[in-house]
Structure 1
């Protein structure tokens, strides 16, 4: 049963450019412009009309955008919940200008071991992460540690929890890796690893959507009965000001917005594409977190119930639950 018929999230790609070379991501290989303030504000107005609550300013590395603070400020003025994830290479430079503008600020981490984290990211950014935590705390900010979980590093969660999160009173977000296109993400999660991850959902100060675990146990999205509601729950906007459907990772169709996002989204062409969400051959087995999470919130099913406790827990920790009502 559908509970929410409108999109709730916008993944706004401010640029595809990135100053890291992560082994499990290929976005940094793409040439890209940067979004501009005027265009973004026009889109914010239409996103508000469409019912979107949250804007994730993403990339690439969003802090490469020279006006990212102004973009965030505009989004806050329109009443959106804002999220941003950074590899921290540029956070020390931006820290003071970002203060109070990001509701859910995530610092990416792949390993508590400096050499392994830098190897995973393809650049030396571990020390910048450590410095960023210090600066954020000094400014009264509370970033989350976003730990990318692989089969090969699940044993390091404990160390991350006690080394970075508990001493600094930061939320630990466990983000299971997912496959897409031809990007190498390593071996699949074993049943034992999924059970180990499930145990972390009950830990204080830890966020892991338990529906992610259930979805992986079920073999991911299935095209004959899709759980994915990516196109109807999430609006994806590219740096070229295009509406990307059904999601960034599949990206079968890109339509120019031309300062008219609302009408474009309501058009017959877009609505037809939305009706095919989760049903494309490439959608079989999909477990992409950034589209499954909003999918779990808009339709009442077993995944909705699995996701509910962790969703309430995280938004209580971040103080954003009232804004979602």
Structure 2
């Protein structure tokens, strides 16, 4: 991680593991290991604590269930981004099944749930689903394109632990090229609304070979100007809609690391890179109610089984998990 801003106190989740604790950060999606004595479940901590605790890939914990999952309860979206990770051919379950899945995840030992899509802010019952997960002890984040965030920020503020807004450029010209006319202006307005309502907020952007070098520093400067709490640069995964762009737009993990190393260590906001290696083995619950898992090299994703009970979330060696 490069740079930092003034520390804030926010919600994390923790549980015992071995001789210490593991802590999930809903803002970044990172897992930290600490020997400090903590309460299990949802806890309030200062960001300062995270800087002193080492990050760990969840697979290295050899846990029985994932530390965190991405749940994409819908494939519907108001945008059509060519690098989207979602598979638009996956059918959506009905509302009762979405509530059933929320209850199952809440009953598991999973610490963090990132609700994605599609565009999750299109779900009318999103606040209800978040409430179920939070009541079960999960830390909940929402990943959104931001275009509906102005109208939903107030309702989310009392519920969600973090919002991650996807931007593909530091200005309308570069962002709208990928996401459509007017999407940058609406996303930035959404970010401002989330920050104004006190929601821990970060910007996420997918590194694309054709745009990354010119956009990295301006995006970090925009994040600082908007008052968000960090920027995560995501390595492009050749999954879903984005598979068609992989041959021309993917950077290697080494290239991405070198690119971000050029940022000043005095950056006004924390900056991190999620490599493809770090995305290996990650668990996704898609709109069809199936448990999916990234291959260890994150070059593909596999459908494992329907999510019918808590045991269907278990990590096993045959699923490509540690």
Could you state the TM-score of these two structures normalised by the residue count of structure 1?
Answer: 0.67
* 1:61 to partner: Cα distance: 0.7
* 1:254 to partner: Cα distance: 5.2
2:126 is aligned to 68
2:142 is aligned to 84
Pick from 159, 167, 170 the counterpart of residue 112 of structure 1: 170
CA distance in 1, matches of 2:244, 2:63: 32
2:193 is aligned to 135
* 1:179 to partner: Cα distance: 2.4
Asked if 2 retains the 8 angstrom alpha-carbon contact of 1:57 and 1:82, the reply is yes
C-alpha distance 22-98 of structure 1, shift in aligned 2 (>3 A): same
CA distance in 1, matches of 2:158, 2:270: 22
Deviations 1:49-77 (A, max 9, x none): 54210011111111111111111122112
Q: Which has the higher helix share?
A: 1
* 1:194 to partner: Cα distance: 3.1
Query: Could you tell which deviates more after superposition, 88-97 or 134-143?
Result: 134-143
Q: Which has the higher strand share?
A: 2
Could you state the TM-score of these two structures normalised by the residue count of structure 2?
Answer: 0.67
Structure 1 vs Structure 2 CA RMSD: 3.2
CA distance in 1, matches of 2:174, 2:188: 15
Query: Could you tell which deviates more after superposition, 128-137 or 40-49?
Result: 40-49
Question: After the TM superposition, which residues 278-297 of structure 1 pair with which residues of structure 2 at under 5 Å, given as runs?
Answer: none
Question: After the TM superposition, which residues 33-52 of structure 1 pair with which residues of structure 2 at under 5 Å, given as runs?
Answer: 33-36=92-95, 38-52=96-110
* 1:239 to partner: Cα distance: 2.0
Question: After the TM superposition, which residues 1-325 of structure 1 pair with which residues of structure 2 at under 5 Å, given as runs?
Answer: 2-6=60-64, 7-25=66-84, 27=86, 29-30=88-89, 32-36=91-95, 38-151=96-209, 152-180=211-239, 182-185=243-246, 186-189=248-251, 194-200=257-263, 202=265, 203-209=267-273, 212=275, 228-230=280-282, 234=283, 236-245=284-293, 250-253=300-303, 255-257=305-307, 260-265=308-313, 271=316, 274-277=317-320
Asked if 2 retains the 8 angstrom alpha-carbon contact of 1:84 and 1:102, the reply is yes
C-alpha distance 44-180 of structure 1, shift in aligned 2 (>3 A): closer
* 1:147 to partner: Cα distance: 2.2
Q: Secondary structure at the match of 2:164?
A: strand
* 1:204 to partner: Cα distance: 4.8
Runs of 4+ deviating beyond 6 Å? none
C-alpha distance 85-201 of structure 1, shift in aligned 2 (>3 A): farther
Give structure 1 stretches of 5+ with no counterpart: 222-226, 279-298, 300-325
C-alpha distance 193-183 of structure 1, shift in aligned 2 (>3 A): same
* 1:188 to partner: Cα distance: 3.7
Give structure 2 stretches of 5+ with no counterpart: 1-58
Q: How many residues align?
A: 255
Asked if 2 retains the 8 angstrom alpha-carbon contact of 1:13 and 1:237, the reply is yes
CA distance in 1, matches of 2:299, 2:103: 25
